[in-house]
Structure formats: C-alpha cells, structure tokens
Amino acid sequence: YLRFGPLEPVRALSAYLPFEVASAIRPEIMPVVSISAPPPPARQLTYPRPLWEQDSSRHAVLELVAELKANDAGRHQVNSNRLNHLATGGDFIAAVDLASRHVVIFTPDLKIQRKWPMTAGLATSMQAPLTLAARNDEVAAIDKDGTLAWWDRHGKRQGSFSLDGVFYDLALLGNGDFLVHQTRPFPYTLAIYGRDGRKKKQFGALTSDEPKAAPLLHQGFIATGRAGKAALALINPYKIFFFSRQGTSVQAVEITPEFQVFEPFAEQLGENRWRVLRQRVVYDVAWHRDLLHVLVSSDPERAASWLEIFSPEGEFLQRFYLTMRAIQLTFWNDDLILLGYDPRLKLQRFRIEKIHRQRE
C-alpha cells in the first residue's frame, strides 16, 4: 500500500573506508607512500679486487654464439647503427631503432622478427625514447616528454600516461606496476606507478649539497631482481644502492675504480636552470641469478668496457674485460646480450663458459 507522510531522514554513512577496500574501489584517493629514510653510509671499495679472482672454479670466458647480421638489418630496414635501449621479454629481445623510433623485436638468435612504431596515443608517436623495459609479452618505454606507454609484443598499444619531473630509467614489475627512476621531486630517486598512472610509492631518498641540481646529479640506471629487490647505480660517482621490495635502502657501496674519475660539476645557468658536467662511468645494470651486473667504462670515446658483478650484499665478486665499448646489456636465459662499438655498433650474444669445463 502507499503511505503518505513525512519520510525519515537518511543517516549519512561513515566516510571511513578500510585500506583494502579503498585501494580496490577508489585507488585515486590513496595517498602516495613516501619513504624518506636516507640510505646507510656507503661502504668504500677502493681499487677493489674481485673476491672470486683466486677461485679457479669461478673463472669464465665469454664465447660469441650469435650476432645481428648487417643483411638482416638491411632487409628489415633497421638502422643497426642507431640501436639502443636493450630489454628482454618472455621469449624475445627488444631494442629501439632511434632513427625511425621503432621497437625492433629479435629472436634469441638475434634475428629480426618484427618492428613497429612507438605509438604513444591515438595519433601520436614517441619522438625521443629515453629507455625501454620488457617483461613476459609486454614492452614499455618513456619518451622525453614524459609519456610512459606500453605495448604487447606485436606492437598493439595497451595504455599510456604522462609523468612529471625528471626521469631516466624504467622497469616492469611482476605485479604489472612500473618502477621509474625519477629524480624529481627531490630527494626521491625511485617511484612506483600503477597502470592507471597513479604514483603509489616514492623512495630512494638521496641527499645533495646542490638540491636544485640533484635531479641531474642523481641520474643512473635501475635493475630489479628476485623477491622484489631493486638496485640503483649512479652514472658518476660509481655508487650502488640496494633496496628491499618494501623500498627500504638496505645497502650502499661506493667504488673507486682503477682509472681516474673526475667529480661531477654542477653549474647554475639561471634561477631554475642547471648544467652538470661529468664523466660517465656506469652505462647499464642488470640483475641475473641474484647477482648485479654493472657495465663500466673509463672513456666513452676510446676505451673498452668492464662487466663487474656484485652480490646483493654489495660484495665485488667478479670482473670481465670486454673487447667492445659496450653501452647496453641484458640477459637471455644464462647468455649475456651486449650492444656496443667494435668499432661499429654491434649486437652480440655471449655464452659465459667456465674455463675449468673447457679443460675437462
């Protein structure tokens, strides 16, 4: 039946939402988690010798097993002299052709499988890709204008959003989030973003005598490992920070290499304009088999490179001398993939072969 009369006022529900509920149905209202604790004092390694140097069972050499052929690059109209930004997916290797701004997909034997344009929107493409990351069947990149976009392995764009600040490197996490090496806002150097573009966490706080120049002074490369571990290696000084999966800095080491390194110099050009002059020491990093591999060179124009290997505790374990001037590295299974000059730009795959096995 119908009832005519005054209605009772509806009581307002509590505005409180449990964390789990809010993060699931209203992620945009969740605050950014900030970890401001500075890293522990860096352990100094001056002219270090590898701990495995005297262990003959650890000695190994790099054996070339595959290489990108010039005729293969020409057939697919890939400029092999402009390749950069290596990354490894589930069963492929990816790189960027900076000349055409295409992602190039390689088989593990470094044969070109396909390439596709780096579309960043419905009618836009990336103009100056800064970094590339891959995981399983996805590839992601950051453009100079701050666009972070990702695609499936066939080049179909899956999504994109815009970043603010100064950014330099990128990694895809196991849960689908993005780890971005982002040096603004100061003092943070690392941030985690969801697929919706929301920043979830910022950490890796570093101090600086020149806070306004810190976004340039704190640039480096990031790598992710097992159990959510992460590492940040600065370009110069040769300094590595190790982080737990929660974002806490658990270890830091600073290496004085066996070649001369000039300290970075920051010069203020205007109220908000800075220029940093520095010698580049670190070129790339990668986790593999729970070990951190760091690509180091003393001279970007003429010198060859070193591949230096560290434990998660920051112990310097092993060093490989490379004949090429390598600028990028990644891994395919247990094989090392290098991109570098010898003297022309080459993409090569090496097997790390134990010397004592060769003798048997």
pLDDT tens-digit profile of 115-133? 999 998 776 889 999 999 9
CB 92 within 8 Å of CB 83 = no
Confidence band of 134 (pLDDT split at 50, 70, 90) = very high
CB 251 within 8 A of CB 310: no
Cα–chain-centroid distance for residue 277? 22
Q: Of 1-10, 134-143, 192-201, which gets the smallest average pLDDT?
A: 1-10
Helices (H) and strands (E) in the chain, counts: 4, 28
Do 129 and 118 form a contact (C-beta atoms < 8 A)?
yes
Q: What is the pLDDT of residue 1?
A: 47
How many other CB atoms are found less than 10 A from the CB of residue 256? 13
Q: What percent of the chain has pLDDT over 70?
A: 89
How distant is the alpha carbon of residue 272 from its chain centre? Answer: 27
Contact present, 229 and 242 (Cβ < 8 Å): yes
List of residues 6+ apart from 270 with CB closer than 8 A: none
Residue 26 has pLDDT above 70, yes or no: no
| Cα–Cα distance measured from residue 248 to residue 255, given in angstroms and rounded to the nearest whole number | 21
**Strand 335-341 and strand 43-46: pairing?**
unpaired
In the prediction, which pLDDT does 173 show?
96
pLDDT grade for 299, boundaries at 50, 70 and 90 = confident
What is the rounded distance in angstroms from the CA atom of residue 326 to the CA atom of residue 307? 9
Q: What is the mean pLDDT of the chain?
A: 89
Instruction: Tell me which amino acid residue 81 is.
Output: N
Torsion angle, alpha carbons of 150, 83, 327, 121, to 10: -20
Name the one residue in this structure whose structure tokens are 């595959």: 66
pLDDT for the residue numbered 15: 53
Contact in structure between 335 and 351 (CB atoms under 8 Å): yes
Beta bridge partner(s), residue 222: 232
Residue 243 has phi, psi (to 5 degrees) of -125, 145
Three-state secondary structure call for residue 74: helix
Distance CA 96, CA 155 (A): 13
Is the per-residue pLDDT at 305 higher than 80?
yes
| DSSP code of residue 82 | G
CA atoms lying within 13 Å on the CB side of residue 92: 21
Place of tokens 């993060």: 23
Token look-up 């453009």 returns 143
Cβ-count burial of 271 within 10 angstroms (0-12 exposed, 13-18 middle, 19+ buried)? exposed
Q: Is 60 exceeded by the pLDDT of residue 22?
A: no
Across the range 144-158, mean pLDDT stands at: 95
Cα distances from 278 to residues 22, 30, 31, 283, 319, in angstroms, run: 45, 39, 36, 13, 24
pLDDT at 4 over 50: yes
